[in-house]
Amino acid sequence: MASNGSTSKASPPPQGIYVPSPTFFVAEGSASYNQTSPPLDLETQSKHSLFLVEGGVKGLVLLGSTGEAIFIKPEERVQLLKSQRKTLDDAGFKDRPIIAGTATQNIDDTLQLIQESKDAGAEYAMVLSPGYFAPATSQTGIKNWFTAVADQSVIPVMIYHYPGVTNNLYIAPATFEKLAAHPNIVGTKLSHGIIDDQALIAASPNIDHEHFYVFTGLGQNLLPVLAIGGVAAIDGLAGVFPRVVVRLFDLFNESLAKGMGKNDIAEMRLLQFRICEGEKLVARWGVVGMKEACDRVWGLGSRTGGRLPLAGGFEEGDQEWSKWSKVFDGLKELEEKFKSEGSRH
């Protein structure tokens, strides 16, 4: 919903755990494989999407950094979004929104991607901050850039703040306070570990937190971010172990509602510890690590199924995975335990 001069505020996405889904490509050796630009593997994409929502994930973030958006052709964006919206709808998950990433520097290009994403079935746009000229970009420039996008966007906008891929562009909490007042800006994904800045946004009395949601992009920060006012996470590890991450989110909210006790805190701390162990792989290897884990743990996709320069998976193969296998075997057991206990969703 674009603002178009209206003072009505767009609604943020439902609170819960979201996954920045990897984009799956056909594996090396298949008939349609092309080393330079392997085609999309929409069958695996759909299997993974259903695996996530059946595990309690509230919605999907497609074509973000983990989705290798910078390698995806325009027509492929449309195919991917349409296919996953149809997959969710056909399986009875019409209530699970799709958030589409945009990673452009130009406002007009960003607006075009947003329009195409809406037409393909996305309900929200996660807009990456423009970091090419980061050292020379002022906070006023950032505010005006996002305001121009939000003024014209046909769907609600979330600010994607990821200094690691935007030339270390910094968005100050005071800038977030100003942008959070925009009727068509409904939240942010904070993919950094600056916990004091996260608190200055998520706990700010100058922000309407019914309209503007703070998601951490790091599952290893989920419990502390919930404690300071964040609503949840858009988290990579949840792409492999959705029930594990969702369980921590549920435990926090359930214990908060009934009155949090020492046993609740101890259980949440232990679960956060287990999540942090697994997140080390995501922090080190990003989408390469996620695809490796999806393949090795669940047989989903191909660990070598990427586009250059990310094609090929772990360079050291089994030797590298052996560093992570004990932690991931334990998380798999935990995921299966939670599944056997029955879904709350």
Calculate ∠ Cα 156-40-65, nearest 5°: 45
CA atoms of 11 and 210, how far apart (whole Å) = 9
Q: What is the largest CA-CA distance in the chain?
A: 57
Q: Which helix (H) or strand (E) holds 18?
A: strand 18-20
Q: Is 227 helix (H, G, I), strand (E, B) or coil?
A: helix
Total residue length of the chain: 345
- 56 neighbors 343 (Cβ within 8 angstroms): yes
Pure H helices in the chain: 42-54, 74-90, 107-119, 139-152, 173-180, 195-202, 222-227, 242-258, 262-298, 318-321, 325-340
Active site residue 160: yes
Choosing from 189, 213, 291, 332, the catalytic residue is 189
Annotated catalytic residue, options 18, 124, 160, 213: 160
Indicate the Cα dihedral angle 217, 219, 223, 226, nearest 10°: 30
What is the C-alpha to C-alpha distance for residues 117 and 249, in angstroms, rounded to an integer?
A: 28
Told to judge if 189 belongs to the known catalytic residues of this protein, a careful annotator would answer: yes
Residues designated as active site: 160, 189
